[in-house]
Structure 1
Amino acid sequence: MAWPLVGAFLCGHLLGFLCLSGLAVEVTVPAEPVSMPMGKTAELSCSYSTSVGDNFALEWSFVQPGKPISASAPILYFTNGHLYPTGSKADRASLLHNPPTGGLATLKLTDLRPSDTGTYLCNVNNPPDFYTNGLGLINLTVLVPPSHPLCSQSGQTSVGGSAALRCSSSEGAPKPVYNWVRLGSSPTPPPGSMVQDEVSGRLILTNLSLTSSGTYRCVASNQMGSASCELNLSVTDSSEGRVAGTLIGVLLGVLLLSVAAFCLIRFQKDRKKEPKETYGGSDLREDATAPGVSEQASVRADCSKGLLEKSPAASTVTTTKSKLSMVV
């Protein structure tokens, strides 16, 4: 019997303490995240139950996704009967009911922007009600259609090679999904030669052929809309490239031979036009040919001289005949 009496005694003292010290503040916010299109107005519902006193205060704050609650920044606060918007959202933030002393503290945020996505904190403070933290959290997502995506390609775009096509939008909430399609009436690629990832926007093309060439379109989409970009893929035949290289080499070789032959012919013509070597007056030799005398005459003279030198008898006879003639 002693334990029931002790329990009743403790409960009585606890209730008396609560009556003297105040009641707990209860804050109610939506359990599910809130989504709203960009440019629209969001109403973030927050209600509370407490006996509003002279020290009642309300604060709304905001924290970006991925950051701790302690990093939140004030949007507006109400105290001493006055409302004070603050921060970068001050010109767009207000209370749906002002003053918020009737148990409703709903935040109204106009002209929503992508930067408004994050967590909003509704904090009610009513001393001496300190038995709960008086805090409610609301997650807001601003819906944004995908921005114009950027298409790019990489890899070896030759027959038998592989290529990767990429597609990405810088904006879009929720995050866009990507779908690649091939335009035109080209033959359908073999199964497994086209593999795409809708999350990353990547398309892998394997075992490329000349029929793989064409226009590919990437469509980025979410519940707010879609946007697309296109890319022209050109697959080349490496064997054709080798043939073209060989042909170019042959043509260059023929050109070099032609230039060499032209230079040789030109050199021979110039050599024939060069003047023959002559001797000056100071360089005359005894056996030199006089100017104007042909080489044939010079040869005859040399031959005659040789005959005269080898026939002394003939010289004597001539001299004798000459003397005889003079006597007669």
Structure 2
Amino acid sequence: MEPSGARVRFVLLSLFTGLVSGLEITSTGPTSIEKASGQSVKLDCQFSLASEDSGPLDIEWSLLSSDNQKEDKAVILYSGDRAYEDYYAPMKGRVHFNSADPKNGDASINLTGLKSSDSGTYHCKVKKAPGIRSRKLLLIVMVKPSKPRCYAEGPTQEGKDIVLKCISSEGTSPLQYTWEKTSDTKLLPASAVLDPVGGTVNVRNASASASGSYRCTASNRVGTEECILYLNVTPSPNTAGIIAGAIIAVLLILIIIAIILFCCCRARHRKKYEKEICNEIREDVPPPKSRVSTARSFTVGSQRSSLGSMSPSNLHEYALKPQYDKIPSSEEYERPPSHVPLPPPSGAKMAGPNLSRMGAIPVMIPAQNRDGSIV
């Protein structure tokens, strides 16, 4: 029973202290604030004191952790009649008390150069013994949309589906996109389908009337940005003519390649054939005759033909001339030197029958006149 009695006494003492204390938070403004990045914000925390609050004044602002397992982060403090404004490193130089002397009942702070990381729940705690009071405020730092990029996706030709896209790379969700035509009728084409979340406009079966300038606006709760797009819908090209031209070009290329290959093969075949002819050894051709036998046969034949045309009167003169042009027969080449007949005496005249018996061959010499010409 004794522990239960002690607990009851503690609860009653707490209630009595609350009733006696005159410390109160008097701020009644909104507890949720939305601001754009780069802006400034005032977190309001007004309080009032009574004569019963005689202890030292302590003010503490902290950023509550979203994870219960982590500790809260103290942002700025006031204790012992002194302000500690550079207590939290990420906000150093950006957080200050709104009043130069918070003891006058103003514990509000100003936060400048807001960043998206500054978002969170801020807790203002005012303590002056025996009273303690606190207030919580939710700060949402939103990023303004960046300047969007406008472009057309797909071929911008008549009869095709053209997609107009608008994308902003930065900005706190939700972002909303709106499209409007700024030229001609100021209205989007009748076949256009708008997606405000994705930022697209699908113009189905586009016609030339869809050409013109368009404006896209990206917006959220803290700002807007826009971009301009000019759309030019062109007539569709002659597809059949393009295909026919492509086919003809391919055929011409194939024909040229075939001609080049044919010429190369033919030149290679001709070169190979000439090389084989040069290296071929013909066995059916008899070897060439020697120069001696050819000359002999030619001389003998010439002599015989000359003898047939000689007259008896010229034969005697021919017999008297030395036989310097006689070509020895094969028997004479084979006969030993001892059997070679001696030449007739230079002064003696031999008759034709004697010359024949000695083996001489009659040769006809053409008659000449005194001038040297042949008769």
Q: Report TM bin, short chain.
A: 0.5 to 0.7
Question: CA contact under 8 A between 2:121 and 2:136: conserved in structure 1?
Answer: yes
AA aligned to 1:180 is W
Identify the residue that residue 101 of structure 1 maps to in structure 2. Answer: 103
Identify the residue that residue 252 of structure 1 maps to in structure 2. Answer: 250
Identify the residue that residue 25 of structure 2 maps to in structure 1. Answer: 27
Identify the residue that residue 368 of structure 2 maps to in structure 1. Answer: none
Q: Cα distance 1:231–1:99, how it changes in 2: closer, same or farther (>3 A)?
A: same
Give aligned pairs, total.
Answer: 271
Cα deviations by residue, 1:238-294 (Å, 9 ceiling, x for unpaired) = 7744642342122111231244245546766887897695898861347x9x9xxxx
Identify the residue that residue 77 of structure 1 maps to in structure 2. Answer: 77
AA aligned to 2:76 is L
| SS at structure 2 position matched to 1:256 | helix
TM-score, with length taken from structure 2: 0.54
Distance 1:175 1:235 in 2: 32
- RMSD over aligned Cα, in angstroms? 4.7
Distance 1:256 1:236 in 2: 34
What percent of counterpart residues are identical? 26
| SS at structure 1 position matched to 2:99 | coil
Question: CA contact under 8 A between 2:164 and 2:201: conserved in structure 1?
Answer: yes
Distance 1:224 1:258 in 2: 68
Matched ranges for 1:189-228 at <5 A: 190-191=189-190, 193-209=191-207, 212=210, 216-221=214-219, 226-228=224-226
Report the alpha carbon displacement of residue 42 of structure 1 after superposing the two structures with TM.
3.0
Report whether the alignment pairs 1:54 with 2:55: yes
Identify the residue that residue 121 of structure 2 maps to in structure 1. Answer: 119
Distance 2:35 2:280 in 1: 112
Report the alpha carbon displacement of residue 41 of structure 1 after superposing the two structures with TM.
4.2
TM-score, with length taken from structure 1: 0.60
Q: Cα distance 1:245–1:196, how it changes in 2: closer, same or farther (>3 A)?
A: same
Report the alpha carbon displacement of residue 178 of structure 1 after superposing the two structures with TM.
2.3
Question: CA contact under 8 A between 1:179 and 1:219: conserved in structure 2?
Answer: yes
Distance 1:279 1:171 in 2: 84
Distance 1:97 1:250 in 2: 87
Report the alpha carbon displacement of residue 37 of structure 1 after superposing the two structures with TM.
6.2
* 167-176 or 276-285: bigger deviation: 276-285
Structure 1 unaligned spans of 5+: 1-12, 291-328
Q: Cα distance 1:222–1:271, how it changes in 2: closer, same or farther (>3 A)?
A: closer
Q: Cα distance 1:214–1:270, how it changes in 2: closer, same or farther (>3 A)?
A: farther
| SS at structure 1 position matched to 2:103 | coil
Cα deviations by residue, 1:209-248 (Å, 9 ceiling, x for unpaired) = 4654665442224676643334566768777446423421
* 73-82 or 50-59: bigger deviation: 50-59
Report the alpha carbon displacement of residue 173 of structure 1 after superposing the two structures with TM.
6.6
Q: Cα distance 1:152–1:21, how it changes in 2: closer, same or farther (>3 A)?
A: same
Identify the residue that residue 319 of structure 2 maps to in structure 1. Answer: none
Q: Cα distance 1:284–1:40, how it changes in 2: closer, same or farther (>3 A)?
A: closer
| SS at structure 2 position matched to 1:283 | coil
Question: CA contact under 8 A between 1:177 and 1:220: conserved in structure 2?
Answer: yes
Cα deviations by residue, 1:87-106 (Å, 9 ceiling, x for unpaired) = 12231212122442333211
Cα deviations by residue, 1:86-132 (Å, 9 ceiling, x for unpaired) = 212231212122442333211122344454444332122344436xx
